[in-house]
């Protein structure tokens, strides 16, 4: 089995690559910048994912896992360019390389009724994939937690400073899913036929409010928790590209999206790690 991974140095990609390598899958991983290889892995470094550098190297792979995405835009790089145009390019690469299966991580909350630019771009990326005639599995993840995801790193940084700031009430919910479970499901979706041409929410079993999550995350660390005015956080997000929360990070949080865990569980047919267990085990530290 040989699998191609795009956006190789991202959080989900790094973990999925390690999982696949540990399971003796041959990998071809593509990134814009150099990265450390796992056993059984070949790397391709490219800025623009141009056909001529890639097609011969990935030809006849069994599947491609497309893990490129952004959560913040700027005047040079926007959602249209990355989620839609780059996805078109990746679909073309699959076709030219005779790769029949594509896995894509979209977002929880994507629907045809969405009014949010971030979700509209993900919806259109999904549509490109569905219309491509490739065999696809599209996942719509909630918040994927692991040692090095962006949000966990942010919380650890705040704990070091002695205070975690919660935007607004903190009453909105997340439905976190553990990265090791995500890696396993992505692998299953490649080797099991039942995932063919399916769209699945990628969520954990429980919804938990942001405030409760933060409290449990920082339990025993002597960290103060402070609620900050939502207008101020949005104002900062809109004008400061380095703010901790981007506008769409806030939209996704406040959006309070819930996914269908029961459907995922039936498909995945595996044990999921509960968020309490992850938080209590200290494995995010």
Ligand X SMILES: NC(=O)c1ccc[n+]([C@@H]2O[C@H](COP(=O)([O-])OP(=O)(O)OC[C@H]3O[C@@H](n4cnc5c(N)ncnc54)[C@H](OP(=O)(O)O)[C@@H]3O)[C@@H](O)[C@H]2O)c1
With a CB cutoff of 8 Å and minimum separation 6, the contacts of 40 are 21, 24, 25, 26, 27
Q: Which residue has the closest beta carbon to ligand X?
A: 69
Residue 141 lies near ligand X (rule: CB under 6 A) = yes
Residue 275 lies near ligand X (rule: CB under 6 A) = no
Minimum CB distance to ligand X smaller for 162 or for 241: 241
Minimum CB distance to ligand X smaller for 84 or for 226: 84
Is 87 in contact with 134 (CB distance < 8 Å)?
A: no
Minimum CB distance to ligand X smaller for 193 or for 242: 242
- Mark the segment that binds ligand X (CB under 6 A) among 1-9, 167-175, 207-215, 236-244: 1-9
Minimum separation from the CB atom of position 77 to ligand X (A): 5
Looking at 133-246, list the stretches that DSSP marks H as alpha helix, in order from N- to C-terminal side: 150-161, 179-191, 210-217, 230-239
Residue 10 lies near ligand X (rule: CB under 6 A) = yes
Residue 212 lies near ligand X (rule: CB under 6 A) = no
Rg of the chain over all Cα atoms, to the nearest angstrom: 19
Residue 13 lies near ligand X (rule: CB under 6 A) = yes
Which of 44, 55, 82, 134 binds ligand X (CB under 6 A)? It is 82
Minimum separation from the CB atom of position 112 to ligand X (A): 18
Residue 253 lies near ligand X (rule: CB under 6 A) = no
Looking at the chain, list the stretches that DSSP marks H as alpha helix, in order from N- to C-terminal side: 11-22, 51-58, 79, 86-96, 117-131, 150-161, 179-191, 210-217, 230-239, 247-255, 261-268, 275-281
Residue 8 lies near ligand X (rule: CB under 6 A) = yes
Total residues at the site for ligand X (CB under 6 A)?
Answer: 22
CA proximity to 244, closest of 228, 221, 259: 228
Q: Is 38 exposed, middle or buried (0-12, 13-18, 19+ CB in 10 A)?
A: middle
Residue 7 lies near ligand X (rule: CB under 6 A) = yes
Bridge partner list, 285? none
**Residue 243 has which token pair?**
């703010």
């806030």: which residue's tokens? 250
Please list every residue from 14 through 53 that binds ligand X, using CB under 6 A.
31-33
The 89-128 site mask, x for binding ligand X (CB under 6 A), equals ----------------x-x---------------------
Distance CA 28, CA 42 (A): 5
Residue 11 lies near ligand X (rule: CB under 6 A) = yes
Binding site for ligand X (CB under 6 A): 7-13, 31-33, 67-70, 77, 82, 105, 107, 141, 143-144, 149
């Amino acid at each position: 089995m040989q699998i191609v991974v795009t956006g190789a140095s991202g959080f989900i990609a790094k973990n999925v690559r390690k999982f696949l390598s540990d399971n003796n899958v041959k990998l071809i991983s593509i990134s814009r910048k150099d990265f450390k290889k796992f056993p059984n892995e070949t790397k391709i470094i490219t800025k623009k994912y141009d056909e001529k550098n890639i097609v011969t190297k990935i030809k006849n792979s069994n599947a491609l896992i497309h893990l490129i995405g952004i959560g913040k835009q700027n005047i040079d790089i926007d959602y249209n360019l990355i989620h839609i145009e780059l996805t078109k390019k990746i679909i073309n690469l699959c076709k030219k390389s005779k790769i029949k299966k594509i896995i894509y991580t979209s977002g929880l909350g994507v629907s045809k009724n969405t009014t949010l630019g971030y979700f509209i771009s993900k919806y259109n990326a999904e549509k490109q994939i569905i219309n491509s005639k490739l065999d696809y599995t599209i996942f719509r993840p909630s918040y994927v937690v692991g040692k090095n995801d962006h949000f966990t790193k942010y919380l650890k940084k705040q704990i070091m400073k002695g205070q975690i700031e919660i935007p607004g009430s903190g009453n909105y919910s997340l439905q976190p899913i553990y990265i090791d479970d995500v890696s396993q499901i992505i692998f299953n979706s490649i080797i099991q036929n039942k995932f063919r041409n399916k769209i699945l929410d990628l969520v954990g079993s429980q919804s938990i409010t942001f405030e409760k999550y933060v409290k449990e995350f920082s339990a025993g660390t002597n960290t103060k928790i402070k609620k900050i005015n939502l207008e101020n956080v949005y104002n900062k997000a809109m004008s400061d590209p380095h703010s901790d929360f981007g506008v769409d990070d806030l939209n996704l949080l406040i959006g309070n999206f819930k996914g269908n865990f029961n459907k995922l569980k039936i498909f995945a047919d595996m044990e999921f790690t509960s968020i309490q267990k992850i938080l209590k085990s200290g494995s995010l530290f």
